[in-house]
Structure 1
């Protein structure tokens, strides 16, 4: 299943995306709020991509984002069994795609897709409290900050002492947002 916006094509991930995913997750600036070591090509091919593609055919999961025909990152809309009726929004963009509004544009497309399903009551997202760019995207999308929490990390990242934040966008709030949202 594909989704399209004015500037983005959101398509299912394929085996041809392995190198782009490796490069994306190998960029230290992209990894700044992720932790862990950058994956090898084999790890992406044998573990990361199959995990991402496990949702294929469900209407949810991961989409590769292309801008002007080039890989720009990915977006995700995943069900969470512990939160019936809710989906988790995620995104990761290559540094070359930062500052262009793609996260907001792709996020809106996935929110429209999520709320087209009457079973979806809310969409949530989590990020590090210090990840100002991601928090700004969530605010532009209409999400509201609902909590700050402090999980334990065996190898904490700089800034993790400020905690993680959760944002939620309910169906009623989505419906109340301006109809001319891009």
Structure 2
């Protein structure tokens, strides 16, 4: 077990979890602001799951963690390495059946607290498309603060890409001062 909250258990994925990832990534609404399309089995088996397992091997304290509630698999939460060893990125992907239950905020807050109290990082950040208002709200409720809008080039941009991506973050001093309450 990597981390537990009041309603969620986060643990490592294994090589046998292809079906869970396929189920999650097969909902077009879940993928709307990510790739805009379902993830094919060949990609989950050959890229997505191997990359998740590779991060565990290279960064044992970090990665993408399977999230379960009392009923079973609900999605994943990630706490990922960045180009700066003092900074981690957080994110999540949840099944549509659990949207609106507060799981995204609950899990993200737990990851932020874990990053500062157990991992000793100095900064936690997250990003999403500017038009992804639900994820932006989760970031704010989790204690992350808006930093900037930025633009990336995509060969096959999703609707809304023209409005850019947004970066939210919190540093240790701000979090410790009570911004996480």
Partner of 1:171: 172
Partner residue in 1 for 2:2? 2
Q: Which residue of 1 aligns with 2:47?
A: 47
Q: CA deviation at 1:56?
A: 1.7
Judge which range, 104-113 or 36-45, deviates more.
Answer: 36-45
The correspondence for 2:61, drawn from 48, 56, 59, is: 59
Report how far residue 18 of structure 1 moved: 1.0
Q: Which range is displaced more, 110-119 or 89-98?
A: 110-119
Paired positions, count:
179
Structure 1 gaps of 5+ residues are none
1:76 counterpart residue number? 78
TM-score (normalised: structure 2):
0.92
More deviation, 25-34/51-60: 51-60
Checking the alignment, whether the CA contact within 8 Å between 1:142 and 1:177 is kept in structure 2 is no
- Deviation per CA, 1:122-144: give whole Å up to 9, x if none: 00001000000100000001111
Describe the superposition over 1:3-49 as per-residue Cα deviations: whole angstroms up to 9, x where unpaired.
10110000101233211111211111011101254222232122211
State the superposition RMSD in angstroms: 1.6
Check conservation: 1:142, 1:173, Cα contact below 8 A.
no
* 1:55 shift after superposition: 2.1
